Amino acid sequence: MKSIKNCFIILLKTYYRMKYFYTTIFILINSSVYAQFIISPGLYTLGTADKTTPENIVNLPFIDGVVIRTKWETVEKQPGLFDWTYIDSEVNNAKKFGKKSVIQILGSPAWIRDSLNAQVYFYIDQNKYHPTFGDTLFGYIPWDNIYLQRVKNLITALGAKYAADTNIAYINAVSGSISRNLPEKIADGRNFWEVFDYNPDTLIAKLCSVLDVYMSVFPNTPLWSSMDYVSFEPKATGKRPNYVCGEYAKYGVGKYPDRFGLWREDISGCTLYPPNPGSPWAVMSNYSDRTGAQMLWHVQDGPTRMNQCGIADTTKAGVMQAALEKGIMFGIRYFEIYGADVKDTSLHNVFTLFSEKLHSTLTDAKEMKHNSEIRTFQLFQNYPNPFNPSTTIRFSLPKTEHVTLKVFDVLGNEITTLVNAEMTAGEHSIVFDAKNLSSGVYFYQLKTNSLIKIMKAEVLK
């Protein structure tokens, strides 16, 4: 095992009986094969859409920047008629105090339907936390060409206006308006996927086409791209709910490794870790060096919404600290905090502590994540699965010990030994390239001196 720029690579050659070739497998441990993502770490204050962020909030020492949230209809009141007044004001206010800006565009204007006849669907809002809970609302069919062209036009206009501004740390304006919150049922009770002929691969292709536009007009500014699940995916296609965002992330990270970031809007101390394999958080955990998160909510409500799992310390500070610690478990170094919490002085000690942690060196940040991990012996389901040609295998150890990780075929024949070494406590990941293996079921076995666990993987070509 040899260290190369913090990337450990094992080159294995396995001879197959009765075959006249070698299988070469490259394994990368605790490393990304991708270019370094441009990270601007820290705590960012999250205000109300189209409302001015108070200067005393912007100037707080633990705040690194301002998330400028504005409605699409505020920026583009009519097709092609743009008004940048609000964004400009917020960007300039942040600059005055030496802080970064993040631009996030919310919603979609009704004129895309009313003036341009984009295809829509109607649904009943089922989120009890929304002020529109129980109301009948409409959304745009996310693969509708009229709608997608307006998204691309908006991004192009944003790029022309703000791509050269180095004070803008991120833009959040692509996937959230396309793949988020697709309903299982439309308003009349029929299944969305049947009425509108849903095809996840079509949606993925559309997402990627919008991403390509963003990257062409923002050659230097990183993107926060929302990782969203499709709740009805298993019923509609038999795939996991995170299939769309998983494939989209694979495309984005592979093609734009320096600027494609993964983002979620619901981190809390109750976020499941390790994540469910079908959740967007599982996709986030696969690319932990390029992730950011917004708090699920603020902690001014009791804080019940941020503590639905029984966090022991029920104070506002305790619940906020649990949320930040959980984010660090996922490797997150960028957090968006609701303004209601930022101005709460009882939380300032927590924010100061975590601001210092988030600005530590990369080595310290990795150690911080390491210290926050759940210390148990675990072997996780490989992702993706089925796969072709490569997949990631993750496991965690409660202590430093000698481990082996081997792959077997269905007859019990050992295919290869992936790991045979002493490993430190914490989580480890391995990329297994099986391009020379035939389609079929395989088993991978993790073994220590006292424990053993086996999981099934499938190569599908």
In which band, very low, low, confident or very high, does the pLDDT at 204 lie, cut at 50, 70 and 90? very high
What is the tens place of the pLDDT at every residue in 211-249?
Answer: 999 999 999 999 999 999 999 999 999 999 999 999 999
Give pLDDT, residue 364. Answer: 54
- Cα dihedral sign, 72-77-79-82: negative
For the beta carbon of residue 62, count every other beta carbon within 10 angstroms.
21
Indicate the angle between helix axes 348-358 and 362-372, nearest 10 degrees.
120
In which band, very low, low, confident or very high, does the pLDDT at 384 lie, cut at 50, 70 and 90? confident
- The average pLDDT across 266-274 equals 92
Amino acid sitting at position 265: E
Residue-averaged pLDDT of the chain:
87
Distance CA 127, CA 268 (A): 18
Q: Let me know if 191 is exposed, middle or buried by CB neighbors in 10 A (0-12, 13-18, 19+).
A: middle
Residue 20 tokens read as 């006249």
Residue identified by tokens 């019940």 is 304
Distance CA 123, CA 107 (A): 15
240: Cα separation from own chain's centroid: 16
What is the tens place of the pLDDT at every residue in 104-125?
Answer: 999 999 999 999 999 999 999 9
Give the residue among 6, 58, 66, 60 at the shortest CA–CA distance from 40: 66
Residue 201 tokens read as 């691969």
Strands 81-82 and 378-379: unpaired
212: Cβ contacts below 8 Å, ≥ 6 apart: none
Q: How many residues does the chain have?
A: 461
Give pLDDT, residue 176. Answer: 64
Give pLDDT, residue 431. Answer: 85
Instruction: Report the percentage of the chain scoring pLDDT > 70.
Output: 88
276 touches 100 (CB < 8 A): no
pLDDT-wise least confident of 15-19, 84-88, 350-354: 15-19
Domains, the chain, in order of start with CATH, read: 2-31+374-459 (2.60.40.1930), 42-107+143-372 (3.20.20.80)
This prediction has a pTM of: 0.74
Distance CA 110, CA 107 (A): 10
53 touches 16 (CB < 8 A): no
Residue 288 tokens read as 């932990």
Distance CA 95, CA 66 (A): 10
pLDDT-wise least confident of 69-78, 128-137, 281-290, 427-436: 427-436
Give the residue among 275, 281, 270 at the shortest CA–CA distance from 308: 270
* Three-class HEC string of the chain: CEEECCEEEEEEEEECCCCCCEEEEEEEECCCCCCCCCCCCEEEEECCCCCCCCHHHHCCCCEEEEEEEEEHHHHEEECCEECCHHHHHHHHHHHHCCCEEEEEEECCCCHHHHCCCCCEEEEECCCCCCCCCCCEEEEECCCCHHHHHHHHHHHHHHHHHHCCCCCEEEEECCCHHHHCCCCCECCCCCEHHHHCCCCHHHHHHHHHHHHHHHHHHCCCCCEEEECCCCCCHHHHHCCCCCHHHHHHHHHHHHHCCCCEEEEEEEECCCCCCCCCCCCHHHHHHHCHHHEEEEECCCCCCCCCCCCCCCCCCCCHHHHHHHHHHHHHHCCCCEEEEEHHHHCCHHHHHHHHHHHHHHCCCHHHHHHHHHHHCCCCCEECCCECCCECCEEEEEEEECCCEEEEEEEEECCCCEEEEEEEEEECCEEEEEEEECCCCCCEEEEEEEECCCCEEEEEEEECC
**For 321, how many CA atoms within 13 A lie in the half-sphere containing its CB?**
16
Q: Is the pLDDT of residue 375 over 60?
A: no
User: How many angstroms separate the Cα of 438 from the Cα of each of 87, 93, 458, 459?
Assistant: 54, 59, 10, 7
For the beta carbon of residue 212, count every other beta carbon within 10 angstroms.
15
CA-based radius of gyration for the chain: 23
- Cα dihedral sign, 126-132-136-141: negative
Q: Is the pLDDT of residue 179 over 80?
A: no
124 touches 136 (CB < 8 A): yes
Phi, psi values for residue 376, rounded to 5°: -140, 160
Q: Is the pLDDT of residue 140 over 70?
A: yes
Q: Is the pLDDT of residue 10 over 60?
A: no
Distance CA 455, CA 395 (A): 11
Q: Is the pLDDT of residue 366 over 80?
A: no
